[in-house]
Structure 1
Amino acid sequence: MTYSIVARDPSTGDLGIAVASRFFAVGALVPHIRGGRCAVATQAFVNPLWGIEAADRMAVGEAASAVLADLVARDGGEAQRQAHMIDAAGDIAAHTGEDCIDWCGHVSGEDVSVAGNMLAGEAVIVETLAAYQSAADLPFAERLLTAMEAGELAGGDKRGKQSAALRIHRGEDYPWLDLRADDHADPLPELRRLYDVAQERFLHVAHVMPRRDDFSGLTDRAPLDAAIAEEDRRRAQEGRGSRSFATPL
Protein backbone atom coordinates (compact mmCIF):
# COMPACT_ATOMS: atom_id res chain seq x y z
CA MET A 1 0.00 0.00 0.00
CA THR A 2 3.08 2.22 0.03
CA TYR A 3 6.25 3.13 -1.77
CA SER A 4 9.23 4.94 -0.31
CA ILE A 5 12.76 6.06 -1.00
CA VAL A 6 15.57 5.99 1.57
CA ALA A 7 18.73 7.87 0.64
CA ARG A 8 21.98 9.40 1.77
CA ASP A 9 23.31 12.58 0.19
CA PRO A 10 26.99 11.72 -0.37
CA SER A 11 28.02 15.39 -0.58
CA THR A 12 26.64 16.28 2.88
CA GLY A 13 25.91 13.02 4.71
CA ASP A 14 22.28 14.09 5.08
CA LEU A 15 19.81 11.21 5.38
CA GLY A 16 16.31 11.36 3.98
CA ILE A 17 13.13 9.39 3.48
CA ALA A 18 10.13 10.18 1.28
CA VAL A 19 7.00 8.03 1.25
CA ALA A 20 3.51 8.03 -0.29
CA SER A 21 0.49 5.80 0.22
CA ARG A 22 -3.27 5.32 -0.02
CA PHE A 23 -3.20 5.13 3.76
CA PHE A 24 -3.78 7.80 6.38
CA ALA A 25 -0.76 9.57 7.91
CA VAL A 26 1.89 7.33 6.37
CA GLY A 27 4.58 9.67 7.69
CA ALA A 28 3.64 8.80 11.28
CA LEU A 29 4.89 5.20 11.07
CA VAL A 30 7.18 4.59 8.11
CA PRO A 31 10.27 6.86 8.48
CA HIS A 32 12.87 6.47 11.23
CA ILE A 33 16.16 8.38 11.10
CA ARG A 34 19.09 8.83 13.45
CA GLY A 35 20.97 11.92 12.36
CA GLY A 36 24.29 11.24 10.68
CA ARG A 37 23.98 7.50 11.26
CA CYS A 38 21.09 5.71 9.56
CA ALA A 39 17.64 5.86 7.99
CA VAL A 40 14.99 3.12 8.04
CA ALA A 41 11.58 2.79 6.35
CA THR A 42 9.19 0.12 7.67
CA GLN A 43 5.97 -0.50 5.72
CA ALA A 44 3.45 -2.99 4.21
CA PHE A 45 1.59 -4.57 7.19
CA VAL A 46 3.70 -2.20 9.18
CA ASN A 47 5.56 -3.12 12.34
CA PRO A 48 6.87 0.22 13.67
CA LEU A 49 9.13 -1.62 16.11
CA TRP A 50 11.25 -2.64 13.12
CA GLY A 51 11.95 1.00 12.38
CA ILE A 52 12.66 2.01 15.96
CA GLU A 53 14.88 -0.95 16.79
CA ALA A 54 16.73 -1.00 13.49
CA ALA A 55 17.52 2.71 13.71
CA ASP A 56 18.70 2.44 17.31
CA ARG A 57 20.92 -0.56 16.60
CA MET A 58 22.42 0.78 13.40
CA ALA A 59 23.08 4.09 15.15
CA VAL A 60 25.53 2.33 17.49
CA GLY A 61 27.30 0.50 14.70
CA GLU A 62 25.45 -2.73 13.93
CA ALA A 63 25.42 -3.67 10.26
CA ALA A 64 22.15 -3.10 8.40
CA SER A 65 22.10 -6.63 7.02
CA ALA A 66 22.59 -8.23 10.45
CA VAL A 67 19.93 -6.07 12.08
CA LEU A 68 17.39 -6.80 9.35
CA ALA A 69 18.08 -10.54 9.42
CA ASP A 70 17.45 -10.55 13.17
CA LEU A 71 14.16 -8.67 12.82
CA VAL A 72 12.97 -11.09 10.17
CA ALA A 73 13.94 -14.09 12.29
CA ARG A 74 12.08 -12.82 15.38
CA ASP A 75 8.84 -11.58 13.78
CA GLY A 76 6.12 -14.15 13.12
CA GLY A 77 4.56 -11.67 10.72
CA GLU A 78 7.70 -11.07 8.63
CA ALA A 79 6.08 -12.45 5.47
CA GLN A 80 3.76 -9.42 5.50
CA ARG A 81 6.45 -6.87 6.33
CA GLN A 82 8.59 -4.70 4.11
CA ALA A 83 11.57 -2.63 5.23
CA HIS A 84 14.67 -1.04 3.78
CA MET A 85 17.47 0.90 5.39
CA ILE A 86 20.77 2.68 4.81
CA ASP A 87 23.64 3.52 7.14
CA ALA A 88 26.11 6.41 7.23
CA ALA A 89 28.47 4.57 4.86
CA GLY A 90 25.70 4.01 2.31
CA ASP A 91 25.30 0.28 3.01
CA ILE A 92 21.76 -0.91 2.27
CA ALA A 93 19.58 -3.80 3.43
CA ALA A 94 16.03 -4.56 2.28
CA HIS A 95 13.29 -7.11 2.91
CA THR A 96 10.02 -7.72 1.08
CA GLY A 97 8.03 -10.51 2.71
CA GLU A 98 6.59 -13.19 0.47
CA ASP A 99 3.02 -12.37 1.51
CA CYS A 100 3.25 -8.63 0.76
CA ILE A 101 0.53 -7.67 -1.71
CA ASP A 102 1.47 -7.47 -5.39
CA TRP A 103 3.05 -5.64 -6.91
CA CYS A 104 5.80 -5.58 -4.33
CA GLY A 105 9.57 -5.44 -4.33
CA HIS A 106 12.66 -3.32 -3.85
CA VAL A 107 15.58 -1.94 -5.87
CA SER A 108 18.68 0.00 -4.92
CA GLY A 109 21.61 1.98 -6.25
CA GLU A 110 24.56 3.80 -4.75
CA ASP A 111 23.38 5.56 -1.57
CA VAL A 112 19.68 4.97 -2.36
CA SER A 113 17.00 2.31 -1.90
CA VAL A 114 13.40 2.21 -3.15
CA ALA A 115 10.73 -0.24 -2.00
CA GLY A 116 6.99 -0.61 -2.39
CA ASN A 117 4.01 -2.89 -2.05
CA MET A 118 0.43 -2.92 -3.39
CA LEU A 119 1.71 -0.91 -6.33
CA ALA A 120 0.45 -0.48 -9.88
CA GLY A 121 3.54 -2.38 -11.06
CA GLU A 122 7.29 -2.72 -10.96
CA ALA A 123 7.67 0.50 -12.94
CA VAL A 124 6.76 2.49 -9.82
CA ILE A 125 9.99 1.68 -8.00
CA VAL A 126 12.08 1.49 -11.17
CA GLU A 127 11.04 4.99 -12.24
CA THR A 128 11.43 6.36 -8.71
CA LEU A 129 15.01 5.13 -8.59
CA ALA A 130 15.80 6.33 -12.12
CA ALA A 131 14.43 9.80 -11.43
CA TYR A 132 16.46 10.10 -8.24
CA GLN A 133 19.64 9.02 -9.98
CA SER A 134 19.02 11.46 -12.84
CA ALA A 135 18.46 14.44 -10.54
CA ALA A 136 21.86 14.68 -8.83
CA ASP A 137 22.03 18.40 -9.62
CA LEU A 138 18.99 19.18 -7.46
CA PRO A 139 18.99 19.95 -3.72
CA PHE A 140 18.45 16.78 -1.70
CA ALA A 141 14.84 17.53 -0.74
CA GLU A 142 13.86 18.34 -4.31
CA ARG A 143 15.64 15.23 -5.55
CA LEU A 144 13.59 13.05 -3.22
CA LEU A 145 10.35 14.76 -4.22
CA THR A 146 11.19 14.46 -7.91
CA ALA A 147 11.78 10.74 -7.46
CA MET A 148 8.46 10.22 -5.70
CA GLU A 149 6.63 12.17 -8.39
CA ALA A 150 8.10 9.86 -11.02
CA GLY A 151 6.81 6.88 -9.08
CA GLU A 152 3.37 8.45 -8.93
CA LEU A 153 3.40 9.01 -12.69
CA ALA A 154 4.24 5.33 -13.10
CA GLY A 155 1.11 4.38 -11.16
CA GLY A 156 2.01 4.69 -7.48
CA ASP A 157 -0.16 2.87 -4.96
CA LYS A 158 -2.65 0.94 -7.08
CA ARG A 159 -5.53 1.95 -4.77
CA GLY A 160 -4.91 5.69 -5.19
CA LYS A 161 -3.54 8.54 -3.05
CA GLN A 162 -4.05 9.81 0.48
CA SER A 163 -0.86 10.75 2.32
CA ALA A 164 2.83 11.47 1.83
CA ALA A 165 5.80 12.57 3.89
CA LEU A 166 9.34 13.88 3.53
CA ARG A 167 11.88 13.77 6.36
CA ILE A 168 15.53 14.84 6.23
CA HIS A 169 18.09 14.90 9.04
CA ARG A 170 21.31 16.89 8.88
CA GLY A 171 23.48 15.14 11.44
CA GLU A 172 21.07 15.53 14.36
CA ASP A 173 18.36 13.30 15.79
CA TYR A 174 15.84 16.08 15.29
CA PRO A 175 14.85 16.66 11.65
CA TRP A 176 16.11 19.51 9.53
CA LEU A 177 12.88 19.11 7.56
CA ASP A 178 9.81 17.02 8.42
CA LEU A 179 6.80 17.51 6.14
CA ARG A 180 3.56 15.52 6.12
CA ALA A 181 0.33 15.57 4.16
CA ASP A 182 -1.73 13.13 6.23
CA ASP A 183 -5.07 13.17 4.38
CA HIS A 184 -4.97 14.92 1.02
CA ALA A 185 -6.41 14.40 -2.45
CA ASP A 186 -3.00 15.04 -4.02
CA PRO A 187 -0.38 14.68 -1.29
CA LEU A 188 2.87 14.96 -3.29
CA PRO A 189 2.04 18.42 -4.71
CA GLU A 190 1.05 19.36 -1.17
CA LEU A 191 4.53 18.38 0.00
CA ARG A 192 5.93 20.66 -2.72
CA ARG A 193 3.84 23.52 -1.36
CA LEU A 194 4.97 22.85 2.19
CA TYR A 195 8.60 22.70 1.08
CA ASP A 196 8.19 26.07 -0.62
CA VAL A 197 6.68 27.55 2.56
CA ALA A 198 9.48 26.03 4.64
CA GLN A 199 12.03 27.97 2.61
CA GLU A 200 10.41 31.29 3.54
CA ARG A 201 11.39 31.14 7.21
CA PHE A 202 11.56 27.67 8.74
CA LEU A 203 14.70 26.41 6.99
CA HIS A 204 16.56 29.60 7.85
CA VAL A 205 15.79 28.87 11.52
CA ALA A 206 16.69 25.18 11.11
CA HIS A 207 20.07 26.15 9.68
CA VAL A 208 21.14 27.91 12.90
CA MET A 209 19.58 25.65 15.54
CA PRO A 210 21.77 24.06 18.24
CA ARG A 211 23.75 20.97 17.27
CA ARG A 212 25.65 18.21 19.05
CA ASP A 213 28.88 20.14 18.53
CA ASP A 214 27.30 23.56 19.25
CA PHE A 215 24.83 23.31 22.13
CA SER A 216 23.75 26.95 21.91
CA GLY A 217 23.52 27.40 18.16
CA LEU A 218 23.01 30.93 16.90
CA THR A 219 22.05 33.29 19.72
CA ASP A 220 22.18 36.56 17.77
CA ARG A 221 18.95 36.92 15.80
CA ALA A 222 20.29 39.67 13.52
CA PRO A 223 21.85 37.37 10.86
CA LEU A 224 18.74 35.20 10.90
CA ASP A 225 16.42 38.16 10.44
CA ALA A 226 18.63 39.44 7.62
CA ALA A 227 18.51 36.08 5.84
CA ILE A 228 14.72 35.93 6.09
CA ALA A 229 14.42 39.49 4.81
CA GLU A 230 16.68 38.65 1.88
CA GLU A 231 14.50 35.64 1.10
CA ASP A 232 11.45 37.92 1.08
CA ARG A 233 13.18 40.34 -1.30
CA ARG A 234 14.24 37.55 -3.64
CA ARG A 235 10.72 36.16 -3.82
CA ALA A 236 9.31 39.61 -4.48
CA GLN A 237 11.80 40.19 -7.30
CA GLU A 238 10.78 36.86 -8.84
CA GLY A 239 7.11 37.74 -8.52
CA ARG A 240 6.42 34.89 -6.12
CA GLY A 241 4.18 35.46 -3.15
CA SER A 242 3.89 33.29 -0.08
CA ARG A 243 2.07 29.98 -0.50
CA SER A 244 1.44 29.74 3.24
CA PHE A 245 -2.05 29.56 4.73
CA ALA A 246 -0.87 31.39 7.86
CA THR A 247 -2.65 34.51 9.01
CA PRO A 248 -0.77 37.69 8.02
CA LEU A 249 1.71 39.13 10.50
Structure 2
Amino acid sequence: MQMNLSGKVALVTGGGAGIGAEVSQRLSTLGASVLVLDRDLGAAQAVADSIPRGTAIEMDLQDSAGITAALRENPLLREIDILVSNAGLTRVERFTDSDLDSWDTLWQINLRAPMQLCHALVPTMTKRGWGRIVFVATDSARAGGGGEGVYSATKAGLLGFSKTLARETARDGITCNVVCPGLIDTAMLQSVAVDNPNMMDRLIRGIPVRRLGSAGEVASAIEFLCTPDASYVTGQTISVNGGITMM
Protein backbone atom coordinates (compact mmCIF):
# COMPACT_ATOMS: atom_id res chain seq x y z
CA MET A 1 0.00 0.00 0.00
CA GLN A 2 1.32 3.43 -0.98
CA MET A 3 -0.82 5.63 1.24
CA ASN A 4 1.96 7.89 2.48
CA LEU A 5 1.59 11.55 1.45
CA SER A 6 4.54 12.93 3.42
CA GLY A 7 6.01 15.95 1.67
CA LYS A 8 2.86 16.58 -0.36
CA VAL A 9 0.76 19.74 -0.09
CA ALA A 10 -3.01 19.41 -0.42
CA LEU A 11 -5.59 22.14 -1.00
CA VAL A 12 -9.12 21.28 0.13
CA THR A 13 -11.85 23.75 -0.83
CA GLY A 14 -14.88 23.90 1.42
CA GLY A 15 -12.61 22.40 4.04
CA GLY A 16 -14.24 24.05 7.01
CA ALA A 17 -17.01 21.49 7.54
CA GLY A 18 -18.58 18.24 6.42
CA ILE A 19 -16.84 16.27 3.70
CA GLY A 20 -14.09 18.86 3.33
CA ALA A 21 -13.19 18.70 7.03
CA GLU A 22 -13.09 14.89 6.91
CA VAL A 23 -10.85 14.94 3.84
CA SER A 24 -8.51 17.47 5.46
CA GLN A 25 -8.19 15.21 8.50
CA ARG A 26 -7.50 12.10 6.46
CA LEU A 27 -4.89 13.68 4.18
CA SER A 28 -3.14 15.14 7.20
CA THR A 29 -3.08 11.72 8.85
CA LEU A 30 -1.32 10.39 5.75
CA GLY A 31 1.39 13.03 6.17
CA ALA A 32 0.30 15.82 3.83
CA SER A 33 0.39 19.49 4.66
CA VAL A 34 -3.20 20.66 4.22
CA LEU A 35 -4.46 24.07 3.19
CA VAL A 36 -8.01 24.27 4.49
CA LEU A 37 -9.82 26.75 2.26
CA ASP A 38 -13.23 28.11 3.14
CA ARG A 39 -15.15 31.37 2.88
CA ASP A 40 -15.71 31.03 6.65
CA LEU A 41 -12.24 31.68 8.07
CA GLY A 42 -13.28 30.67 11.58
CA ALA A 43 -14.44 27.25 10.37
CA ALA A 44 -11.30 26.78 8.29
CA GLN A 45 -9.11 27.78 11.23
CA ALA A 46 -10.84 25.34 13.56
CA VAL A 47 -10.16 22.45 11.17
CA ALA A 48 -6.59 23.59 10.50
CA ASP A 49 -5.88 23.86 14.22
CA SER A 50 -7.16 20.32 14.78
CA ILE A 51 -4.69 18.65 12.43
CA PRO A 52 -0.90 18.56 12.05
CA ARG A 53 0.48 20.83 9.30
CA GLY A 54 -2.89 22.53 8.76
CA THR A 55 -3.21 26.08 7.42
CA ALA A 56 -6.46 28.01 7.10
CA ILE A 57 -7.12 30.10 4.00
CA GLU A 58 -10.11 32.39 3.58
CA MET A 59 -11.47 32.63 0.04
CA ASP A 60 -14.78 33.38 -1.61
CA LEU A 61 -14.95 31.12 -4.66
CA GLN A 62 -17.59 33.34 -6.22
CA ASP A 63 -14.98 36.12 -6.51
CA SER A 64 -12.92 35.35 -9.60
CA ALA A 65 -10.69 38.40 -9.15
CA GLY A 66 -10.12 37.46 -5.52
CA ILE A 67 -9.06 33.95 -6.50
CA THR A 68 -6.60 35.37 -9.02
CA ALA A 69 -5.16 37.75 -6.44
CA ALA A 70 -4.80 35.02 -3.82
CA LEU A 71 -3.06 32.70 -6.25
CA ARG A 72 -0.67 35.49 -7.17
CA GLU A 73 0.06 36.76 -3.68
CA ASN A 74 0.01 33.67 -1.45
CA PRO A 75 3.11 31.51 -1.97
CA LEU A 76 1.42 28.56 -0.25
CA LEU A 77 -1.00 28.32 -3.16
CA ARG A 78 1.76 27.91 -5.73
CA GLU A 79 3.07 24.55 -4.52
CA ILE A 80 -0.01 22.33 -4.56
CA ASP A 81 0.34 18.59 -5.24
CA ILE A 82 -3.25 17.60 -4.44
CA LEU A 83 -6.42 19.55 -5.19
CA VAL A 84 -9.67 18.38 -3.64
CA SER A 85 -12.33 20.67 -5.10
CA ASN A 86 -15.08 20.02 -2.62
CA ALA A 87 -16.85 23.37 -2.13
CA GLY A 88 -20.32 23.67 -3.55
CA LEU A 89 -23.61 25.48 -3.27
CA THR A 90 -27.12 24.28 -4.05
CA ARG A 91 -30.59 25.78 -4.23
CA VAL A 92 -33.62 23.51 -4.32
CA GLU A 93 -36.41 24.89 -6.50
CA ARG A 94 -38.20 24.08 -9.70
CA PHE A 95 -36.13 25.14 -12.67
CA THR A 96 -38.87 27.45 -13.94
CA ASP A 97 -38.84 29.26 -10.58
CA SER A 98 -35.09 29.94 -10.72
CA ASP A 99 -33.56 33.16 -12.00
CA LEU A 100 -30.42 34.12 -13.89
CA ASP A 101 -28.72 35.60 -10.84
CA SER A 102 -28.94 32.27 -9.02
CA TRP A 103 -27.65 30.51 -12.14
CA ASP A 104 -24.60 32.76 -12.12
CA THR A 105 -23.93 32.17 -8.43
CA LEU A 106 -24.06 28.38 -8.76
CA TRP A 107 -22.01 28.36 -11.94
CA GLN A 108 -19.34 30.60 -10.41
CA ILE A 109 -18.89 28.51 -7.27
CA ASN A 110 -19.54 24.99 -8.57
CA LEU A 111 -17.79 25.05 -11.95
CA ARG A 112 -15.89 28.22 -12.79
CA ALA A 113 -13.90 28.31 -9.54
CA PRO A 114 -12.69 24.67 -9.85
CA MET A 115 -11.70 25.33 -13.46
CA GLN A 116 -9.89 28.53 -12.44
CA LEU A 117 -7.97 26.72 -9.70
CA CYS A 118 -6.95 23.93 -12.09
CA HIS A 119 -5.83 26.47 -14.68
CA ALA A 120 -3.43 27.90 -12.11
CA LEU A 121 -2.30 24.73 -10.35
CA VAL A 122 -1.94 22.11 -13.09
CA PRO A 123 1.19 23.67 -14.67
CA THR A 124 3.07 23.26 -11.38
CA MET A 125 1.90 19.66 -11.04
CA THR A 126 3.04 19.05 -14.61
CA LYS A 127 6.54 20.37 -13.86
CA ARG A 128 6.80 18.06 -10.86
CA GLY A 129 5.47 15.05 -12.76
CA TRP A 130 2.90 14.23 -10.08
CA GLY A 131 -0.52 15.45 -9.07
CA ARG A 132 -3.94 14.44 -7.83
CA ILE A 133 -7.17 16.27 -8.62
CA VAL A 134 -10.50 15.17 -7.18
CA PHE A 135 -13.74 17.02 -7.83
CA VAL A 136 -16.72 16.50 -5.56
CA ALA A 137 -19.88 16.63 -7.66
CA THR A 138 -23.24 15.03 -6.89
CA ASP A 139 -25.17 11.95 -7.90
CA SER A 140 -27.80 14.25 -9.42
CA ALA A 141 -25.17 15.28 -11.97
CA ARG A 142 -25.38 11.73 -13.32
CA ALA A 143 -29.05 10.91 -12.79
CA GLY A 144 -30.83 14.22 -12.28
CA GLY A 145 -32.57 15.39 -9.16
CA GLY A 146 -35.90 17.08 -8.67
CA GLY A 147 -35.48 20.73 -7.74
CA GLU A 148 -31.77 20.73 -8.52
CA GLY A 149 -31.68 21.52 -12.22
CA VAL A 150 -29.15 24.35 -12.07
CA TYR A 151 -27.05 22.70 -9.37
CA SER A 152 -27.01 19.42 -11.30
CA ALA A 153 -26.02 21.21 -14.50
CA THR A 154 -23.08 23.00 -12.91
CA LYS A 155 -21.86 19.85 -11.19
CA ALA A 156 -22.33 17.81 -14.38
CA GLY A 157 -19.92 20.22 -16.02
CA LEU A 158 -17.25 18.89 -13.69
CA LEU A 159 -17.70 15.40 -15.11
CA GLY A 160 -16.87 16.46 -18.64
CA PHE A 161 -14.12 18.82 -17.54
CA SER A 162 -12.45 16.16 -15.40
CA LYS A 163 -12.36 13.62 -18.21
CA THR A 164 -10.77 16.13 -20.57
CA LEU A 165 -8.24 17.19 -17.95
CA ALA A 166 -7.48 13.53 -17.20
CA ARG A 167 -6.66 12.89 -20.86
CA GLU A 168 -4.52 16.00 -21.16
CA THR A 169 -2.45 15.34 -18.01
CA ALA A 170 -2.20 11.55 -17.76
CA ARG A 171 1.32 11.38 -19.21
CA ASP A 172 2.45 13.99 -16.71
CA GLY A 173 1.74 11.77 -13.72
CA ILE A 174 -1.48 13.60 -12.84
CA THR A 175 -4.78 11.87 -12.19
CA CYS A 176 -8.16 13.58 -12.26
CA ASN A 177 -11.35 11.98 -10.96
CA VAL A 178 -14.81 12.86 -9.66
CA VAL A 179 -16.59 11.58 -6.57
CA CYS A 180 -20.38 11.92 -6.61
CA PRO A 181 -21.96 11.75 -3.16
CA GLY A 182 -25.55 10.64 -2.87
CA LEU A 183 -27.62 11.61 0.14
CA ILE A 184 -25.02 12.47 2.74
CA ASP A 185 -25.79 13.71 6.24
CA THR A 186 -24.17 17.15 5.98
CA ALA A 187 -25.18 20.67 6.93
CA MET A 188 -26.12 21.38 3.32
CA LEU A 189 -28.59 18.48 3.22
CA GLN A 190 -30.01 19.35 6.61
CA SER A 191 -30.60 22.94 5.52
CA VAL A 192 -32.64 21.66 2.59
CA ALA A 193 -34.57 19.28 4.86
CA VAL A 194 -35.67 22.11 7.16
CA ASP A 195 -37.98 23.40 4.44
CA ASN A 196 -39.07 19.91 3.41
CA PRO A 197 -39.77 18.00 6.65
CA ASN A 198 -41.24 14.90 5.00
CA MET A 199 -38.69 14.75 2.24
CA MET A 200 -35.97 12.92 4.17
CA ASP A 201 -38.13 9.92 5.02
CA ARG A 202 -39.22 9.57 1.39
CA LEU A 203 -35.65 9.83 0.15
CA ILE A 204 -34.25 7.33 2.64
CA ARG A 205 -36.87 4.76 1.62
CA GLY A 206 -35.44 4.94 -1.90
CA ILE A 207 -31.88 4.09 -0.81
CA PRO A 208 -31.11 0.35 -0.88
CA VAL A 209 -29.03 0.54 2.33
CA ARG A 210 -31.93 2.50 3.96
CA ARG A 211 -29.87 5.29 5.52
CA LEU A 212 -28.02 8.49 4.75
CA GLY A 213 -24.31 8.30 4.07
CA SER A 214 -21.70 9.98 6.25
CA ALA A 215 -19.08 12.56 5.33
CA GLY A 216 -16.44 10.03 6.36
CA GLU A 217 -17.67 7.47 3.84
CA VAL A 218 -17.28 9.99 1.03
CA ALA A 219 -13.92 11.13 2.37
CA SER A 220 -12.64 7.54 2.26
CA ALA A 221 -13.12 7.40 -1.51
CA ILE A 222 -11.52 10.81 -1.98
CA GLU A 223 -8.61 9.86 0.27
CA PHE A 224 -7.79 6.81 -1.86
CA LEU A 225 -7.86 8.82 -5.10
CA CYS A 226 -5.31 11.25 -3.64
CA THR A 227 -2.71 8.57 -2.93
CA PRO A 228 0.00 6.90 -5.02
CA ASP A 229 -2.07 3.70 -4.85
CA ALA A 230 -4.57 5.36 -7.21
CA SER A 231 -2.00 6.08 -9.91
CA TYR A 232 -3.87 3.94 -12.49
CA VAL A 233 -7.27 5.48 -11.79
CA THR A 234 -8.01 8.58 -13.84
CA GLY A 235 -10.94 10.06 -15.72
CA GLN A 236 -13.39 8.16 -13.53
CA THR A 237 -16.62 9.14 -11.82
CA ILE A 238 -17.31 7.25 -8.62
CA SER A 239 -20.64 7.42 -6.80
CA VAL A 240 -20.82 7.00 -3.03
CA ASN A 241 -24.56 6.71 -2.62
CA GLY A 242 -25.75 3.55 -0.88
CA GLY A 243 -26.88 2.10 -4.21
CA ILE A 244 -29.57 4.70 -4.95
CA THR A 245 -28.20 4.80 -8.50
CA MET A 246 -26.06 2.11 -10.11
CA MET A 247 -24.18 3.01 -13.25
Asked if TM exceeds 0.5, the reply is: no
TM-score using structure 2 length:
0.35
Structure index of larger Rg: 1
TM norm structure 1: 0.35
